[in-house]
């Protein structure tokens, strides 16, 4: 397999192959610089020839499958979901999180498939809404985070203020790796605390030190007030912040911080180095009956995302599977634990942005795309036969609840099929009230509704619109006392729906009513998330 070529040549070659995988995502608020940084990272790792465009794999992998040709002939464009590239004997899998500001379930689920995240922060803005939301999702799984404070080439907030804000708002400890010397027009470079040296904006070492005080002997540096301020603030930061500790980082409680500029390529190589040196190997995956250790020999994986190509004539879909253990090889038969069905995986694929190639072999941490016609849904676990269910890939209680209106009543059947397909893909959730025949959809963000109506119209030829319902809150309901659950369902008959798996959901007019129900029925659990299987 071409993927392992670089790994074989490195000192890491004796390690089990999965130990060379680093699977991560970049999280940020829109405009913080995620796209620019992605391109720079790929360029720094040699995966693309120059920053500015994610062009292709340029020698990362040599064989181009006929998938590409098919894709071109059919004019399908699959948005870049995974970028796999080599760096320093490692295979890095960078998973793209959707860029729009509407927080979507897709983004959340993508974060269930990574072992680490890079959090990009605009130095002029600090923590923004979307950063906070995405960070909270990472925290649910204690994903280790590397913080990259971007745009030091511009005037921004003072480094100590930024650190203070991040620590305060995220309740996350930080520890500096690179410290900026000035910013904006006064940017002079940075102090690299790992390599113990001072580096120019162009990446050239200017001075080295054993103890940081040694730099006070360097006349050229000491003469520059910008440098002296940087040194002083660094001393304060060091006194205030914990030292780096790998275990605490891997536990998700301590984040190394780098200051840089994606646009100018400043500190990007160091970011890659930090990820390479400290980034975690594939982590055990929470599952029932027991967590899956990546070193287990049997193959397991789970679907975290399903993407249909937007070609109306071909309804095939790609399920993105994160491998959790074992060595997968092409042609293997895997069991879909949810449906109980076996499938021969004959055309698994690796991705690099829009390019893909057949995946001959893959290990824990790798992302494999499996084309299918609806047999695989988000949250499905694949195994060599064992009954294991990966956990932690929930549905979110929808925040927008709408009744679907069909203009052409002859098309009820097609609409039902469309909604069912798209709910399996995770585009929407579908509910049926126990009284009445309405189709109700629930989504987390407004954009999801737009995607839904456009896809139902384009791919199924069914024009639909949405109508407001008098509901703002949805909660799955559970109880250890089945009689109590029945009593609640009877009392609230008009406001009870079932999700696509038949699980009961309470629809409330607003948060006040939801709270009231909670108080009146203390033996019932009202859940804002529900596991998908
Ligand atoms: P995304 O929305 O997070 O993907 O952000 P982009 O990568 O598209 O960047 C948003 C804007 O910020 C673009 O105009 C970039 O050129 C600019 N930008 C990104 N990184 C830097 C940086 O380091 N310095 C400056 N001055 N601008 C940057």
pLDDT of res. 427: 82
| 356 plus 421 within the same structural domain | no
* Predicted complex ipTM exceeds 0.90: yes
| 359 plus 400 within the same structural domain | no
Ligand 1, atom nearest to 36 Cα: 7
Decide: 47 and 85 in contact? Cβ < 8 Å: yes
Q: Which two tokens stand for residue 365?
A: 């941490």
Distance from C-alpha of 206 to C-alpha of 177, rounded to nearest angstrom? 17
Q: What is the pLDDT of residues 185-211, one digit of tens each?
A: 999 999 999 999 999 998 899 999 999
Task: Name residues of the chain where pLDDT drops below 50.
Answer: 1-9, 49-79, 310-311
Q: Which residues line ligand 1 (CB under 6 A)?
A: 28, 30-36, 99, 150-151, 153-154, 261-264
Cα(126) to ligand 1 centroid in Å equals 14
| Nearest of 114, 164, 121 to residue 137 by alpha carbon | 114
| 94 plus 131 within the same structural domain | yes
| 362 plus 425 within the same structural domain | no
- The answer as to whether 89 is a domain residue is yes
Cα(203) to ligand 1 centroid in Å equals 20
pLDDT of res. 104: 66
* DSSP state letters, 103-167: --HHHHHHHTT-SEEEEEEETTT-S-HHHHHHHHHHHHTT--EEEEEE-TTS----HHHHHHHHH
| 413 plus 481 within the same structural domain | yes
Cβ neighbours of residue 450 under 8 Å, at least 6 residues apart? Answer: none
Cα(494) to ligand 1 centroid in Å equals 50
Cα(26) to ligand 1 centroid in Å equals 14
Number of domains, the chain: 3
Q: Residue 155 sits in which domain range? A: 11-55+62-278
Distance from C-alpha of 380 to C-alpha of 389, rounded to nearest angstrom? 8
* CA-nearest residue, atom 6 of ligand 1: 33
pLDDT of res. 521: 96
| 107 plus 121 within the same structural domain | yes
Q: Give the Å distances, CA to CA, from 528 to 331, 478, 525.
A: 39, 11, 10
- The answer as to whether 2 is a domain residue is no
pLDDT of res. 467: 95
Ligand 1, atom nearest to 39 Cα: 7
| 176 plus 274 within the same structural domain | yes
- The answer as to whether 300 is a domain residue is yes
* CA-nearest residue, atom 17 of ligand 1: 33
* CA-nearest residue, atom 10 of ligand 1: 31
CATH number at residue 347: 3.40.50.300
Distance from C-alpha of 162 to C-alpha of 102, rounded to nearest angstrom? 25
End of a domain among 278, 312, 347?
Answer: 278
Q: What is the pLDDT of residues 209-229, one digit of tens each?
A: 999 999 999 999 999 999 999
The C-alpha torsion from 361 through 362 and 368 to 373, rounded to 10°, is 50
The pTM of this model reads: 0.83
| 410 plus 350 within the same structural domain | no
463 is in an annotated binding site: no
The DSSP 8-state label assigned to residue 469 in this structure reads -
Distance from C-alpha of 122 to C-alpha of 109, rounded to nearest angstrom? 25
Cα(34) to ligand 1 centroid in Å equals 7
């Amino acid at each position: 397999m071409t993927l392992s070529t670089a790994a074989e040549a490195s000192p890491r070659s004796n390690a089990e192959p999965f130990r060379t995988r680093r699977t991560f995502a970049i999280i940020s608020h829109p405009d913080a610089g995620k796209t620019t940084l992605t391109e720079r990272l790929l360029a720094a790792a040699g995966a693309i020839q120059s920053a500015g465009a994610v062009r292709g794999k340029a020698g990362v992998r040599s064989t181009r499958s006929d998938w590409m040709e098919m894709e071109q002939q059919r004019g399908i464009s699959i948005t870049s979901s995974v970028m796999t590239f080599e760096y320093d004997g490692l295979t890095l899998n960078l998973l793209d999180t959707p860029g729009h500001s509407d927080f979507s379930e897709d983004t959340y689920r993508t974060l269930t498939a990574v072992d680490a995240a890079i959090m990009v922060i605009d130095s002029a803005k600090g923590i923004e809404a979307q950063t906070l939301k995405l960070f909270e999702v990472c925290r649910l799984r204690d994903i280790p985070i590397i913080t990259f404070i971007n745009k030091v080439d511009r005037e921004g907030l003072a480094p100590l203020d930024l650190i203070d804000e991040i620590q305060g708002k995220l309740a996350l400890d930080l520890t500096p790796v690179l410290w900026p010397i000035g910013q904006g027009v006064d940017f002079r470079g940075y102090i690299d605390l790992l390599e113990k040296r001072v580096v120019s904006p162009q990446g050239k070492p200017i001075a080295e030190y054993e103890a940081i005080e040694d730099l006070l002997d360097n006349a050229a540096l000491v003469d520059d007030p910008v440098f002296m301020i940087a040194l002083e603030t660094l001393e304060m930061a060091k006194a205030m912040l914990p030292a780096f500790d790998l275990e605490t980082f891997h536990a998700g409680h301590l984040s190394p911080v780098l200051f840089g500029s994606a646009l100018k390529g400043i500190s990007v190589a160091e970011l890659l180095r930090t990820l390479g040196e400290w980034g975690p190997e594939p982590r055990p995956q929470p599952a029932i009956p027991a967590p899956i250790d990546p070193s287990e020999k049997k193959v397991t994986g789970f679907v975290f995302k399903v993407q249909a190509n937007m070609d109306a004539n071909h309804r095939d879909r790609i399920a993105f599977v994160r491998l959790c253990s074992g060595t997968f090889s092409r042609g293997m038969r895997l069991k879909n634990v949810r449906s109980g069905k076996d499938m021969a995986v004959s055309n698994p694929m690796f991705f690099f942005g829009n390019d893909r190639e057949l995946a001959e072999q893959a290990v824990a941490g790798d992302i494999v795309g499996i084309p299918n016609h609806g047999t695989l849904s988000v949250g499905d676990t694949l195994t060599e036969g064992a009954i294991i269910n990966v956990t932690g890939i929930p549905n979110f209680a929808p925040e927008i609840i709408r009744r679907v209106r069909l203009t052409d009543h002859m098309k009820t059947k097609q609409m039902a099929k469309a909604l069912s397909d798209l709910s399996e893909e995770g585009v929407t959730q579908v509910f049926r009230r126990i009284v009445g025949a309405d189709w109700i959809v629930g989504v987390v963000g407004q954009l999801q509704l737009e995607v839904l109506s456009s896809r139902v119209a384009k791919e199924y030829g069914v024009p639909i619109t949405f109508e407001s319902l008098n509901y703002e809150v949805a909660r799955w309901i559970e109880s250890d006392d089945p009689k109590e659950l029945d009593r609640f369902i009877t009392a609230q008959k008009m406001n009870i729906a079932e999700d696509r798996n038949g699980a009961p959901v309470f629809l409330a007019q607003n948060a006040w009513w939801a709270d009231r129900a909670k108080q009146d029925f203390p033996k019932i659990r009202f859940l804002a998330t529900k596991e998908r299987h």
